[in-house]
Amino acid sequence: MRYIFNQGGIHLAQLFFRYGAMNSGKSIEILKVAHNYEEQNKSVVILTSALDNRSGVGMIASRIHGLQREATPIAADTNVFDLVQQLDANAYCVLIDEAQFLQKHHVFECARIVDELKIPVMAFGLKNDFKNELFEGSKYLLLYADKIEEMKTICWFCAKKAIMNLRVHDDQPVYAGEQIQIGGNESYYPVCRHHYYFPPENLAEYRLSKS
């Protein structure tokens, strides 16, 4: 039996979904949680979507702190429940980065890990895409997670909270196209609702002024 310890007491294993806009510190938070467990000699299983290849498939990297760590990639046909049993059925926690890219069956398998193996699962990812539609993984995590938390960050263009992700190509905002296009800061910006619909007219000049 695995437990989550916090100031409110002891809780049984749960499925957590922590979401935020781009640059809200999701990857560094995963690395911190893993470090905290391992510092106490408690093993963790670290997973990430195979779709995210910005730092190489199976790598979790924080652009802010320059830290990175290997993780086991989750492909479309991966059974996450079976994978965790193979990697470490006695893990104290399962951590998943880029959880928005999970498919429906992956989320159900994460729930089974919690309910049957009694291992907490903490999934981190975006909630909505650049068209303000839910990712498949995020949709089902919002439905099935025991606990949902928002990781806050501020708009790239003002001091309001960022709740959307603006896709930019050749310094022009993009509102149509394929949902999944892996990029870093140069491709996506965390923005408030106003600046999603009304970004600065000359993004190139604004970007240079921020550099």
Scored b (16 or more CB within 10 A) or e, 165-177 reads: bbbbeeeebeeee
Give 142-161 as a DSSP string: HHH-SEEEE---B-SSSSSB
Q: Give the pLDDT of residue 179.
A: 76
Q: Which residues are annotated as a binding site for substrate?
A: 180-183, 188
Domains of the chain by residue range? 3-151
User: pTM of the entire structure?
Assistant: 0.85
Q: How far, in Å, CA of 70 to CA of 68, rounded?
A: 7
Binding positions are 20-27, 97-100, 155, 158, 180-183, 188, 192, 195
Please confirm, yes or no, whether 98 is among the known catalytic residues: yes
Catalytic annotation, pick one of 70, 98, 109, 186: 98
pLDDT tens per residue across all 211 residues of the chain: 455 554 455 558 999 999 999 888 888 888 899 989 999 999 999 999 888 666 556 677 766 666 678 899 999 999 999 999 999 999 999 999 999 999 999 999 999 999 999 999 999 999 999 999 999 999 999 999 999 999 999 999 999 999 999 999 888 899 988 777 655 445 889 999 999 999 998 777 666 556 5
| Class of domain 3-151 as given by CATH | alpha beta
Provide the annotated binding site for Zn(2+). Answer: 155, 158, 192, 195
